[in-house]
Chains A and B, each alone.
Chain A
Amino acid sequence: MFAYTVRRLIMLIPVLIGMSILVFSIIHLIPGDPAKTLLGEKASPEVLEKMREDLGLNDPLLVQYKNYMVNLLQGDLGTSIKTKRSISEEIKPYLAATVELTFFAMLFAVIVGVNAGIIAAWKQNSWFDYIAMLIALIGVSMPVFWLGLMEQYIFAQKLQWLPSIGRDSILNPINSITNFYIIDTVIQGDFDGLKQILKHLILPSIALGTIPMAIIARMTRSSMLEVMKADYIRTARAKGVAQFFLVYKHALKNAFIPVLTVVGLQTGLLLGGAVLTETIFAWPGVGKYLYDAISVRDYPVIQSGILMIATIFVIINLIVDLLYSAIDPRIRYQ
């Protein structure tokens, strides 16, 4: 396992370097003078020259890349043009908000998806099976941004059950310590605050989690159907194991391996969906941070936002690979 982990980590190096080159290129591939793009057409030549100097644009490309990497490795993501603040500092609360949202979206997707898949397989060809799979089919085809808008319309505006935007109540903002609001409210014993935070989490988590939920449900169902045919299940049944334990204890263990891969893959993909979900729900995460930067052409923030999300994506994929090989040792020897 250790050797495999090391091998996977080494394989990650060229990918991370490639990613950094790609992200570094964004600002250099934009046609025209980056300084002019950043400052606008009306900027004076002196200001433009100073900007070029500040950005290091007068240096050869290789030197620029080297400086960029040195800064990056020291945790310096550059400075936002709009706010003039360090991106590394500015991005922290956004990052925490995205992690919190992604976690709850995946929690929703796994709990609902896995159980729906299990019951659909257990009661194969029943009305539950048909309805669950129909919902899953529609869920896979659902544009996340439209689902979010519809949720807002129905649950926030029409029924007024849940808040439609934001991460906490404007009237009663959370006193943040860790940037993770759930943890903050628990530490401070602010259970009214916790209730508010959870209410704010429901709609965006469901919007973001619906597609993975649908995919997980379909995967769990087909995987369970396969495992339920196995000899050891028949043996267990012959021994008189109750159906519930047969399904949840015996079959699920083996059926869960392919499901886990899907869960991991989908967690990574959620980060892409987060850009859209956060935009709709005004959720102050990295996706929203990136979206706001796009609209004002804040290129350093766009670069850092993309790099940040891509890095988390790569790390999640690595964790899934390692987890997968821990569960199924055959993977390591391939």
Chain B
Amino acid sequence: MSQLQHKVETTFATIPKKESLWLDAWKRLRRRKLAMLGGGIVLFFIILAVLAPVLTPYPYDGAELSQRFIKPMEEGHWLGTDDLGRDLFTRIVYGAQISLRVGFLAVVGSIIVGTYLGLVAGYYGKWIDMIISRVFDIMLAFPSILLAIAIVTILGRSLTNALIAIAIINVPTYGRLVRSKVLSLKEEEFIMAAKAIGMKNWRIIYHHLLPNSMTPIIVQGTLGIATAIIETAALGFLGLGAVPPTPEWGTMLADSKDYIQLAPWTVIFPGLSIMLVVLGFNLLGDGLRDALDPKMKQ
């Protein structure tokens, strides 16, 4: 008996310890310098957003007309002031809160609805799939910003409505992704086995199909936050997003664009912030794709 036990133990000892998918992915991600740079940029803006009240003594909506258009690094204003004498750095860090929150929530909303629809369409097939897929086709037949404009026109101008619009327009992206993943998973043996032992449909969907579809969703979601942030800013820029004095970056650009010659910094910094955050999420998303699923790499 003890001989057998010893044999089993030595056999198992020679098998290399298997690392979890996430640990393995993290190790691969860490090796990618650009992805880490992207992660660093995102982390930097998260810290700015969280520490906003500590980082600046000024209120983001406190107009002070005597302080209009102060140049960057003058009179205690790191990034200068805008046309109403508001501290630009303050507005940008509070703007980071808005952009990150809206980007994240919009993507989470799209993922929840899109994943659900994708799972149902892919698993049940037939007419349910046909209806859901056609709705996706119709939504994708519009350039996304245009559909967002249409939705905000219906709902009315506000940051919340912009968030809802952005969440809605991105639903088909996740829906299609999950649907195609489910279609391929459905043919796998473990799903057939689950069906054969009489497992209920909802259990197969939530315990087997959903966890196995998560990788592409996470990758697409990270890249999706970048898109959502740009879309929020675009709606704000068109006057369909946040209402002033909310320091949303796109709205700030729209408010400052007439003063570009007089005070270029009021346009440069909000735009630069959008670009950097978006770049951060894009780099991180690209890195995650390579780390989590090397096969997905083009």
Contacts and interface: CB of A to CB of B under 8 A. Distances in A.
A and B form one complex: yes
Interface of A: 14-15, 18-19, 22-23, 25-26, 29-31, 137-138, 140-146, 149-150, 152-153, 157, 219, 222, 258, 268-269, 271-273, 275-276, 279-280, 290-291, 294-295, 299, 302, 306, 309-310, 313-314, 317
B150 A222 contact: no
A291 B260 contact: no
Contacts of A279: 237-238
Residues of A contacting B: mostly: helix
Contact of A272 (B141, B146, B276): B146
A149 B267 contact: yes
A15 B137 contact: yes
A143 B275 contact: yes
B282 A141 contact: yes
Contacts of B233: 143, 145
A19 B142 contact: yes
B234 A138 contact: no
Query: Which residue among B135, B138, B237 has the maximum number of chain A CB atoms within 10 Å of its CB?
Result: B138
Q: In this complex, which of B253, B276, B283 has the most chain A Cβ atoms within 10 angstroms of its Cβ?
A: B253
Given A26-B153, A141-B278, A146-B271, A294 B230 contact: no
Contact of B274 (A143, A258, A309): A143
Closest 4 CB pairs of A and B: A272-B143, A146-B271, A18-B138, A141-B279
B238 A22 contact: no
A141 B282 CA distance: 7
B134 interface: yes
A113 B147 CA distance: 28
Contacts of A295: 239
B141 A140 contact: no
Interface residues of B, number: 42
A306 B239 contact: no
A266 to B, nearest CB: 11
A150 B268 contact: yes
A137 B283 contact: yes
Nearest to A16: B141
A306 B154 contact: no
19 contacts: A15-B141, A18-B141, A22-B142, A22-B150, A26-B150, A31-B156, A137-B282, A137-B283, A138-B275, A141-B276, A142-B275, A145-B237, A145-B253, A275-B146, A294-B153, A299-B153, A306-B150, A310-B141, A310-B143
A258 B298 CA distance: 10
Contacts of A31: 156
B279 A22 contact: no
B11 interface: no
Contacts of B260: 149, 152-153, 157
Contacts of A150: 267-268, 271
A315 to B, nearest CB: 10
A269 B227 CA distance: 13
Nearest to A140: B282
A299 B283 CA distance: 40
A306 B278 contact: no
Given A141-B226, A306-B146, A19 B237 contact: no
Given A149-B257, A153-B267, A314 B141 contact: yes
Contacts of A306: 142, 146, 149-150
A40 to B, nearest CB: 16
A149 B238 contact: no
B85 interface: no
B154 A30 contact: yes
Contact of B237 (A222, A272, A276): A276
A157 B153 contact: no
Nearest to B130: A14
Given A149-B271, A157-B261, A271 B141 contact: no
Given A19-B141, A269-B143, A313-B143, A149 B253 contact: yes
Contact of B144 (A143, A219, A272): A272
Contacts of A302: 149-150, 153
Contact of A19 (B138, B268, B270): B138
A222 B298 contact: yes
B150 A23 contact: yes
B145 to A, nearest CB: 4
Nearest to A14: B134
B238 A291 contact: yes
B240 interface: yes
B184 to A, nearest CB: 15
Contacts of A144: 234
Nearest to B138: A18
Nearest to A138: B279
B109 interface: no
Contacts of B141: 15, 18-19, 310, 313-314, 317
B238 A143 contact: no
Interface string B138-172: 10011111100110011010000000000000000
Contact of A310 (B134, B146, B264, B282): B146
Contacts of A146: 253, 267, 270-271, 274-275
Given A22-B150, A30-B153, A313 B142 contact: yes
A309 B267 contact: no
A150 B141 CA distance: 31
A141 B275 contact: yes
A268 B154 contact: no
A76 B142 CA distance: 21
